[in-house]
Amino acid sequence: MTLAFAEPTDQSIPLHVLAEDEVPDWLEQQPETTQAWVRATGFSGALGQTCILPDTSGGITAALAGYGTAEKRLRGRFHLASCAARLPAGTYRIESGLDADQLSLEALGWLLAGYRFDRYKDASAMSAHLVAPEGVDSRRIEALAAGEALSRDLINTPASDMGPAELEDAARDLAKTHGAEISVTTGADLLSANLPMIHAVGRASERAPRLIDLTWGDQGPRLTLVGKGVCFDTGGLNIKPGSSMKLMKKDMGGAASVLGLAHMIMATGAQVRLRVLIPAVENSISGNAFRPQDVLTSRKGLTVEINNTDAEGRLVLADALALADEEAPDLIVSMATLTGAARVAVGPDLAPYYCDDDGFVAALEHAARAEADPVWRMPFHPPYEKMIEPDIADLDNAPSGGFAGSITAALFLRRFVTRSRYAHFDIYGWQPSDAPARPKGGVGQATRALFAALPRLMQT
């Protein structure tokens, strides 16, 4: 799906964005007939409210969009997106009411509100289109929208049509679009390539496991993105109950997110040397599935005792992270729908992340606020290290007790990155109910914040 700005025309409809306290002053400057009409409609500038101003022939001469109060705007984001959904068909241009930062953010929200997942069912397109506001970087905004749409499409596609091979196809399509290089290691070749834990997790499925390795760019700092690509997670022999399997098509949300972020980077020509690593597997059940109490040897040489086959995401990420770290890039970022504990801690709307680099944290937090892409810092808490150290192996993939599940998973992953700056995002990748610019379903998290922070991140 293409999310793009409309071409400006003489028929573009002026859209005045008015906060509640701006409505009286705006009305005073209008003809009496307009004042009477607006008052008759009850338009007060409340957040999400719209008002159409008719001309003498019954057409639309202009439109108003309510921007509420600063306090109410803090409770949500992409406020014009809700207005766009209520406006009649037409092409609109924003005439007043927003500063430059608000214009960029609300223009992005408008584009994202046009997203529809229509692979299996016809979906009516949004009929209110937006001309790129003056002064915004329309190319950048369209790249952000396209990257987000890619992530959403991949997550929303059910596992029947989005297995490891199909995820590889999506990565190859992205590489072709941007002239990137891509290589894929599949099946038993994972063992000869010393990626044993990716193979162990995926070997029970008829859909062969693989490591996808995409590279792009020949100048600038080295950035490596690692995304969890578990295309469906039954839980393995520690099988999930049916209720917990319901959303497991989204367990490749980390892979979808890094591919969406990669598009943003490549489409805008960011000055980085990019590498994307995606361990793509299906965690299935068969006679050769890996078992509880097995001990696996990782690429890094660390041994891992398996105390729950449903904690498989950290296993495939570990091999990919070890591979990434061998190159010692300037920054490694992993993204994964890794733990239910993260959802309990911060809910579905925040993207919790782990990083010990204060420069990274400052850059990311600033960008997250500016991009309305909320994140929340979590601690690599050293006293919990002993929780991931079992008696018979170097590491435990599922510490008993249930406490601090997201933290112990992050500590586990950090053991595989020793040469590079590292940040880990334990995302949800799913919007549980409709919200402005974010329909129920798959959603990217922290990708826009990371993209916006990159210039500072790669200098710190």
Active-site annotation, residues: 240, 314
Helix axes 100-113, 79-86, angle to 10 degrees: 50
Q: Which of 319, 314, 292, 287 is nearest to 305 (CA)?
A: 292
- Continuous segment of H or E residues that includes residue 66: strand 60-66
CB 162 within 8 A of CB 154: yes
The full DSSP string for 247-300 is TGGGGGHHHHHHHHHHHHHHHTT-SSEEEEEEEEEEE--STT---TT-EEEPTT
C-alpha distances out from residue 278 to 60, 159, 167, 228, 384, Å: 50, 16, 9, 6, 28
| CB-neighbour burial class of residue 93 (10 A; exposed 0-12, middle 13-18, buried 19+) | middle
Question: For the chain, what is the largest distance between any 2 Cα atoms, rounded to a whole number of angstroms?
Answer: 83
48 vs 126: CA distance, rounded Å = 16
Amino acid at 284: S
Return the number of other C-beta atoms located less than 10 Å from residue 78's C-beta: 22
408 vs 388: CA distance, rounded Å = 7
454 vs 220: CA distance, rounded Å = 11
CB 424 within 8 A of CB 136: no
Q: Which of 298, 296, 316, 343 is nearest to 229 (CA)?
A: 316
CB 295 within 8 A of CB 304: yes
Pseudo-torsion of CA 66, 72, 78, 81, nearest 10°? -40
